[in-house]
């Protein structure tokens, strides 16, 4: 094991016990990486210096521009704010060229990056801060001012993009990247836990490259002339791969956009001749209905992940475009997609086969591999895998060297994997992972609510929606106005995408003899 470059040992000391790590596979598909490796340096010094790296509105950054800006970020962090290798830097911003430069700059400086979604409420952000203990927080300027103010005192330094940009102007654009070990922690990615504080997964510099050298290389097959775009934020590892790492690894470009919605995505595809799109099944369904009069002939590769892709949506998009969607299942714990298929290998309705470099099995509850057509727990291993900060739930996720994702699948006789169900209380709605207990707590905080239970309910547009069953306190009437009031209350306290789109008032919740809530009865 190469000597770590990290002076700050926060992450290294919080890796789970090595005996609980999954088995990592490096073979002809994904060969071993050098002992000394800085992922940012590797991605930006890719030989595509003058080729476009990022488009946004009228901005065009070449790889040289992006590299110089990342170098300036690294220099500012080290010279002005005292960053030492192993320090954590929390970034809060939308997908922009500046966020990309900050992400690369943190890694070049030997730091550990924590990227967060702008739609998180302060309570949710505080949970991430509590777990990740960032030394520096950098916040986009156009976010509400209270976001900036509420972070004061929660890190050694809290600054805005404009603070950073002003300091960057005084730097030369030159920086010698820290020679991190390939297995130094490079990023903390947070996943929706079902209870308590969010769980942080720890990914090494080599993991960042491995997700490109497996899924992107073998399934997407990107070319230097490609242009990527999509809806997932860089805070999601789905977005991090598709909208930052993959384009850089293969010398392609990425187009970022402001706002959200199908019209903005289609405008971006038309303007920048996008070839490769990343978004959730829900979005593809809507896009298929908005194509009249649109010029999308540049589009050739469309990746769907974040939730199960139904055969109906796959067929609808194919009928509208002639493009068969690439489905894929990934996990924050695994950093990106590990089962997928593309081109003629796609079998509509199936998720696909293990990506080259990965192995997958179906297990029963006793961890015994099952045969074809038997539904069971999905077990995966490959060049990436789960390491929870502080070892939280590590032994639940990693069993006998395999990563157990919590998904229920079947495998057919041809080796294709078919999604059956989720095995936990996470609700996947329009590509977002939503923890039912967190929504319950938010609903319960309303003065009208006595008891609450939240489950996922099937929905033709979003796959699933959050549904809350509510028992009211005395003195409150069951009506539509109260439903709207509770919904708005929840949206004001947690990220809006988590709010219950359906609320049903009931007189009692189904419970066992010991008082345990019977969620299955509510789902049924």
pLDDT digit string, tens, across residues 23-64: 999 999 999 999 999 999 999 998 999 999 999 999 999 999
Quick one: tokens of 428? 């996947």
Q: What is the pTM of this model?
A: 0.88
Overall average pLDDT of the 165-194 stretch: 93
Q: Is residue 94 within 8 Å of 258, Cβ to Cβ?
A: yes
pLDDT digit string, tens, across residues 351-404: 999 999 999 999 999 999 999 999 899 999 999 999 999 987 899 999 999 999
Quick one: tokens of 75? 């220099």
pLDDT at residue 193 is higher than 70: no
pLDDT digit string, tens, across residues 399-454: 999 999 988 899 999 999 998 877 767 788 988 878 787 888 899 899 999 889 99
* DSSP bridge partners of 454: 468
The mean-pLDDT minimum among 191-205, 241-255, 406-420 falls in 191-205
DSSP structure string for 255-280: E--SS-SHHHHHHHHHHHT--EEEE-
* Conformation bin of residue 475: beta by default, left when phi > 0, alpha when psi is -120 to 50: left
Quick one: tokens of 281? 């099944």
pLDDT at residue 513 is higher than 60: no
What confidence score (pLDDT) does residue 231 get? 93
Identify the band that residue 514 occupies on the pLDDT scale cut at 50, 70 and 90: very low
Identify the band that residue 196 occupies on the pLDDT scale cut at 50, 70 and 90: low
Identify the band that residue 205 occupies on the pLDDT scale cut at 50, 70 and 90: very high
pLDDT digit string, tens, across residues 220-235: 999 999 999 999 999 9
Quote the CA–CA distance of 254 and 53 in Å, as a whole number. Answer: 6
Mean pLDDT of the chain: 93
CA atoms within 13 Å, Cβ hemisphere of 299: 27
What confidence score (pLDDT) does residue 312 get? 84
Quote the CA–CA distance of 362 and 107 in Å, as a whole number. Answer: 36
Quote the CA–CA distance of 43 and 8 in Å, as a whole number. Answer: 24
What confidence score (pLDDT) does residue 524 get? 74
Overall average pLDDT of the 9-18 stretch: 96
Domains of the chain, with CATH numbers? 34-411 (3.40.50.12780), 426-523 (3.30.300.30)
Quote the CA–CA distance of 174 and 470 in Å, as a whole number. Answer: 58
Q: Is residue 324 within 8 Å of 314, Cβ to Cβ?
A: yes
């Amino acid at each position: 094991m190469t000597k770590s470059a990290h002076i700050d040992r926060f992450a290294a000391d919080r890796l789970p016990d090595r005996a609980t790590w999954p088995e990592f596979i490096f073979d002809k598909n994904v060969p071993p990486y050098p002992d000394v490796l800085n992922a940012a340096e590797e991605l930006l010094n890719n030989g595509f210096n003058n080729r476009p790296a990022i488009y946004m509105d009228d901005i065009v950054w070449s790889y040289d521009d992006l590299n110089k800006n990342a170098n300036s970020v690294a220099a500012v962090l080290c010279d002005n704010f005292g960053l030492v290798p192993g320090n954590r830097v929390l970034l809060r911003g939308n997908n922009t060229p500046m966020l990309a430069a900050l992400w690369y700059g943190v890694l070049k400086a030997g730091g550990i990056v924590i990227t967060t979604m702008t739609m998180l409420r302060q309570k949710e952000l505080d949970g991430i801060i509590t777990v990740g203990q960032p030394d520096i927080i950098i916040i986009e300027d156009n976010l509400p001012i209270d976001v900036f103010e509420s972070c004061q005192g929660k890190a050694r330094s809290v600054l805005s993009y404009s603070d950073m940009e002003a300091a960057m102007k005084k730097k030369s654009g030159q920086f010698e990247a820290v020679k991190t070990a390939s297995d130094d922690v490079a990023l903390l990615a947070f996943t929706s836990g079902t209870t308590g504080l969010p769980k942080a997964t720890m990914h090494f510099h080599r993991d960042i490259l491995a997700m490109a050298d497996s899924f992107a290389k073998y399934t997407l097959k990107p070319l230097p002339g490609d242009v990527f775009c999509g809806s997932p934020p860089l805070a999601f590892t789905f977005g991090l791969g598709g909208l930052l790492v993959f384009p850089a690894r293969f010398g392609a470009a990425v187009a970022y956009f402001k706002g959200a919605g199908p019209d903005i995505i289609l405008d971006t595809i038309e303007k920048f001749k996008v070839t490769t799109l990343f978004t959730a099944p829900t979005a593809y369904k809507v896009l298929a209905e908005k194509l009249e009069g649109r010029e999308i002939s540049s589009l050739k590769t469309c990746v769907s992940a974040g939730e199960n892709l139904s055969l109906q949506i796959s067929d609808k998009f194919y009928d509208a475009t002639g493009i068969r969607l690439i489905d894929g299942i990934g996990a924050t714990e695994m950093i990106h997609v590990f089962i997928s298929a593309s081109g003629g290998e796609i079998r509509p309705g199936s998720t696909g086969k293990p990506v080259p470099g990965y192995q997958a099995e179906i297990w029963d509850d006793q961890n015994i591999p099952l045969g074809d057509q038997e539904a069971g727990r999905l077990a995966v291993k490959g060049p990436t895998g789960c390491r929870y900060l502080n070892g939280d739930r590590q032994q639940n996720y990693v069993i006998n060297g395999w990563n157990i994702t919590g998904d229920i699948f079947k495998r057919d006789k041809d080796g294709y994997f078919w999604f059956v169900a989720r095995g936990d209380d996470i609700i996947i709605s329009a590509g977002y992972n939503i923890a039912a207990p967190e929504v319950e707590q938010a609903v319960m905080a309303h003065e009208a609510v006595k008891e609450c239970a939240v489950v996922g309910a099937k929905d033709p547009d979003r796959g699933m929606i959050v549904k809350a069953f509510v028992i009211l306190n005395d003195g409150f009437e069951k009506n539509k106005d109260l439903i709207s009031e509770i919904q708005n209350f929840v949206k004001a306290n947690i990220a809006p995408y988590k709010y219950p789109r359906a609320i049903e008032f009931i007189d009692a919740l189904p419970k066992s003899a010991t008082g345990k809530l019977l969620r299955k009865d509510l789902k049924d």
